[in-house]
Amino acid sequence: MGTTRVVLADDHAVVRAGLRTALAGLPDFEVVGEAATGPQLLAALAQHRPDLLVVDVAMPEFDPITTIRQIHANYPAMKILVVSAYDDQSYVVGLLAAGVNGYHLKDQPLSDLQLAVQRIMAGGNWISSPLLSRLIQAAPQAHAAPISLTKRQRDLLRLIAQGYDNRRMAQEMDLSVKTIENHLTALYRAIHVSSRLEAYQFALRHPELLAESGQEAAQSREPALGPAPLTVLIIDDNERYRAQLKRMVGKACAEAQLFEAEDCHEATRLLRQIMPDLVFVDVILNDGDGIQCLRQIKSLAPAARAILISAYPDREFRRLGLDAGALAFLDKKDLDAATVRQVVEDALRRKR
């Protein structure tokens, strides 16, 4: 194994010096760049393309969740360890959802930091012991009774799993922050948790509760095509289009379980928890190439029937998409209710 190239990011030079000293005590670790602000960090990553980023998310000109998601999408092979003085639950929840590989508290011994980077580079994950102990203690007890959530509660749980804070939830759902707080209180009571962090953990353990039924999406009482359920994943960065496509799928199969993702990172996280029968993927996504996302989908769920969709019916997109494993390449303008019903019926017949 070669040398692990590291970029350090913290707005305090003395902290970076301490991190550098800790890594110097490890064989085959080399600090190749440092940064004190968000723009400096992005420049250092572009210049050095390291194997590991050790970062404090409380830096000037740095939006933690958004920037970490962007970094993870641009450098998917790079490991990310957050080193922070904060054990605030919203920080931890959002950053875990954004794709970091570890969360280390600054008040822990340097030997723990050394163990953290070694474990992460070996393919594992890391959470500092005091924080991990709190997570374990906070884990809700199992309940025998099935949990039933309203559509709004499932929407809230889905946004929690994506790392949204209350203000962004309010913007997403066109509600006031106070209303969101009231709905969250009801959600926590329904799933037997007492905090956002516990709700996030609950969402990871119960991905089935994040799904929307085809009947709800269609807002219709049309009968289903048959008793066989269908799991459908829609990946598109346009929320309105996702809603439109969910309605069409729901009308074709009211019993379908519908999941949605706005980017490849979120889709990959879902695919580690569910096994979809049918996937719709837009060619252009916020965090990159939908065709590359399709390749990841086929590696994680090889049996899924993947439909590549695009508002730009380019021949090269079609060729690359079919080569990547897409069953079909469809122009969004042609993706009407009849076409979607045919795709859904084909998937149902195949499943039966």
Domain count, the chain: 3
DSSP per-residue letters across 33-57:
EEESSHHHHHHHHHHH--SEEEE-S
Chain segment 137-177, per-residue pLDDT in tens = 544 444 445 677 888 888 888 888 877 888 888 888 888 88
Residue 278 sits in a domain whose CATH number is: 3.40.50.2300
pLDDT on residue 128: 82
Global pTM reads 0.46
| CA atoms 100, 168, 185, 91: torsion sign | positive
Instruction: Return the biggest CA–CA distance within the chain.
Output: 66
Q: What pLDDT is recorded for position 282? A: 92
Res 64: pLDDT: 83
Contact 262, 292 (CB under 8 A): no
Mean pLDDT over 63-86 rounds to 89
Read off the tokens for 129: 């012991």
Does residue 47 form part of some domain? yes
Let me know whether 111 and 166 are in one domain.
Answer: no
Residue 65 and residue 184 in one domain: no
> DSSP class of residue 211?
-
Q: Which residue has the higher pLDDT, 91 or 100?
A: 100
* Residue 144 in domain: no
- CA end-to-end span of the chain, whole Å? 47
My answer on whether 105 and 157 are in the same domain is no
Instruction: Write out the H or E segment, with its range, that includes residue 126.
Output: strand 126-127
pLDDT of residue 315: 79
Q: Looking at the predicted structure, is the pLDDT value of residue 225 above 50?
A: no
The predicted pLDDT at position 219 comes to: 54
- Does 251 reside within a domain? yes
Q: Which of 336, 301, 311 is nearest to 327 (CA)?
A: 301
Query: Residue 190: which domain range?
Result: 151-210
Return the number of other C-beta atoms located less than 10 Å from residue 121's C-beta. 19
List the beta strands (DSSP E) in the chain.
4-9, 29-35, 52-55, 79-84, 102-105, 126-127, 212-213, 231-235, 257-261, 278-282, 284-285, 288-289, 305-310, 328-331
The CATH number covering residue 196 comes to 1.10.10.10
Going by pLDDT thresholds of 50, 70 and 90, the confidence category of residue 226 is very low
In a domain, 115, yes or no: yes
Element (H, E) at 112: helix 110-121
More confident residue, 282 or 335: 282
- Nearest 5°: phi and psi at 91? -60, -50
User: By three-state DSSP, how is residue 32 classified?
Assistant: strand
Strand ranges of the sheet holding 4-9, from the earlier edge strand across to the other edge: 29-35, 4-9, 52-55, 79-84, 102-105, 126-127
The answer to whether the CB of 218 falls within 8 A of the CB of 338 is no
Q: Which two tokens stand for residue 122?
A: 């070996």
Higher pLDDT, 126 or 286: 126
Q: Tell me, what's the pLDDT at 141? A: 45
Is residue 288 located within the same domain as residue 182?
no
Supply the DSSP symbol for 332: G
Instruction: Give the residue from 186, 210, 234 where a domain finishes.
Output: 210
> Phi, psi (5° rounding) for residue 196?
-65, -40
- Say whether both 41 and 62 belong to one domain: yes
The Cα 334–Cα 340 span in angstroms is 10
Residues 223, 330, single domain; the answer is yes
For residue 120, being part of any structural domain is answered with yes
Whether 226 and 194 map to the same domain: the answer is no
Question: Are 194 and 246 in a shared domain?
Answer: no
